[in-house]
Amino acid sequence: MRPTGIWHASYATEARVLETVRSRLWLSLFGAVLLGLPLMASPWMLGELTNLFITLIAVCGLYVTVGMAGQINIAQSAFVGVGAFTAAKLSNMGAPVWAVIPAAALITGAVSVLFALPAARVKGFYLALTTLAAQVMFPIVILALPMSWLGGLVGMPVMPPVLFGLNLGTPSGLYFLGLAFAALAVWTTYNLPRSRIGRAFRTVHDNDSAAGVMGIPVTRIKIEAFFAGALYAGVAGAILAYMLQFVTVSSFTLFASVWYLGMLIVGGLHSPLGPILGVVFVTLVQEGLHTAGNAILQSGSGLGGGAVFAASSLVLGLCILAALIFEPRGLAHIWHQLMTAFRLWPFPRN
């Protein structure tokens, strides 16, 4: 439900994401807090937030491919890995950060097209297997290439990012780098559904047969959906490479791809707010479980690290399962219900 007392005189005002002055003020305040956070946060906290921003960028790309276009993708971690290795290679060649990140995005998008071509002809379970093949092939290809190319099993170092003489390799520098691109990813994610290609994504998601009858090039739209989602993954991989300072194939696993998809499902597949809520919720649960696991290991209970890790993964999986059972439409739906109740208060809903 939209706020009361709002009259739109043009389509541009009606298409605004933030319709009221109050919502714009809250967003400005939140942005000011994020910009001022490095002044008071510890390096560990900045690192955790940077990792959250990177994950958010990758999940936003998954929202475009899965949530908007309905194309199942279980290889987002592999695409993030392509962006990371691209950034590592280009940084070692002396390329500046302002050229590395766009190049990593475009190369990742080009790689995704190779798997989108067969995926455009299949649906459902077979589409999931096609993207799973990309995830499985990623480490095989990296290890099969000459070590001088991408480091092979050893991996590759990454040169610190430098922008106009300013070193961004510090915790605060990486934080601002991740924040800037995360804000850009969220902005594009919110505005893409309002564009022509975004409406085509939605149409193909709802019924690709009807979309074809309406004149929409279904195959091209599906390929473009994979390409657009991979652009986000390439940016996330490049920033992750700068953060890790060393990239190996072991950092980009099927396990990570499943968690990316789980975050999107928990947050909400069909709302641009879903990636934000899903990433924040799952990250908070993960950090809470890691803190509890470390406390158990230090207490001398006799449990090994493997048992604690397995228990943490089990609890996290149960949390996600409970979220799906009690609210299959995701946390975004709960948020919209709360906002509707707030706008209707104190009047009854029925």
Of 24 and 302, the structure prediction assigns the larger pLDDT to 24
Residue 29 belongs to a domain: no
207-242 confidence digits (pLDDT tens):
888 888 888 888 889 999 999 999 999 999 999 999
Query: Which ranges of the chain would DSSP assign to H, the alpha helix?
Result: 11-14, 21-36, 43-62, 76-92, 97-119, 124-144, 147-150, 171-191, 196-206, 208-213, 218-244, 254-267, 273-298, 305-326, 331-344
Query: In 3D, which of 207, 223, 339 has the Cα closest to residue 273?
Result: 339
**pLDDT reported for residue 9:** 74
Number of Cβ atoms within 10 Å of the Cβ of 193: 18
Phi, psi of 316 (to 5 degrees): -65, -40
Burial 272-296 (b: 16+ CB within 10 A, else e): bbbbbbbbbbbbebeeebeeebeeb
Q: Is residue 55 classed exposed, middle or buried when 0-12, 13-18 and 19+ CB atoms within 10 A define those classes?
A: buried
Averaged pLDDT for residues 286-303: 72
- CATH (domain of 178): 1.10.3470
Map tokens 């480490």 to a residue. Answer: 139
52 lies in a domain?
A: yes
- Beta strand 246-247 with 156-157 is antiparallel
Cβ-based neighbours of 163, under 8 Å, separated by 6 or more: 96, 97, 98
> Is 239 part of any domain?
yes
Percentage of the chain modeled with pLDDT above 90: 37
In a domain, 38, yes or no: no
Per-residue b or e along 81-117, where b marks 16 or more CB atoms closer than 10 Å to that residue's CB: bbbbbbbbbbbeeebebeebbebbbbbbbebbeebbe
Residue 266 contacts residue 324 (beta carbons within 8 Å): yes
Q: Is the pLDDT confidence value at 283 over 60?
A: yes
Question: How many beta carbons lie within 10 A of that of residue 69, not counting itself?
Answer: 25
Backbone angles phi, psi at 182, to 5 degrees: -65, -40
Residue 22 lies in a domain: no
| Cα-trace Rg, the chain | 21
Give the whole-number percent of the chain exceeding pLDDT 70: 91
Higher-pLDDT residue of 162 and 54 is 54
Q: What's the DSSP call for residue 154?
A: T
How many angstroms from the chain centroid is the CA of residue 233? 7
Task: Tell me, yes or no, whether 5 lies in a domain.
Answer: no
What are the tens digits of pLDDT across the range 301-347?
666 556 666 777 777 778 778 877 888 888 888 888 888 777 777 66
- Predicted confidence (pLDDT) at residue 14 exceeds the cutoff of 70: no
CA 187 to chain centre: 13
Contact 155, 247 (CB under 8 A): yes
Other C-beta atoms closer than 10 Å to the C-beta of 73 total: 33
- pLDDT tens digits for range 84-142: 999 999 998 888 899 999 999 999 999 998 888 877 777 777 788 888 888 989 999 99
Question: Does 8 reside within a domain?
Answer: no
Quote the CA–CA distance of 87 and 119 in Å, as a whole number.
Answer: 27
What integer pLDDT is reported at residue 319 of this predicted model?
76
pLDDT value of residue 130: 84
Q: Higher-confidence residue: 281 or 124?
A: 281
Alpha-carbon span 262 to 271, nearest angstrom? 15
The pLDDT value recorded for residue 317 is: 79
Domain around 94: 43-344
Instruction: Report CA-CA distances (Å) from 192 to 17, 199, 228, 278.
Output: 12, 8, 10, 19
Is 13 a member of any domain? no
Total count of domains within the chain: 1
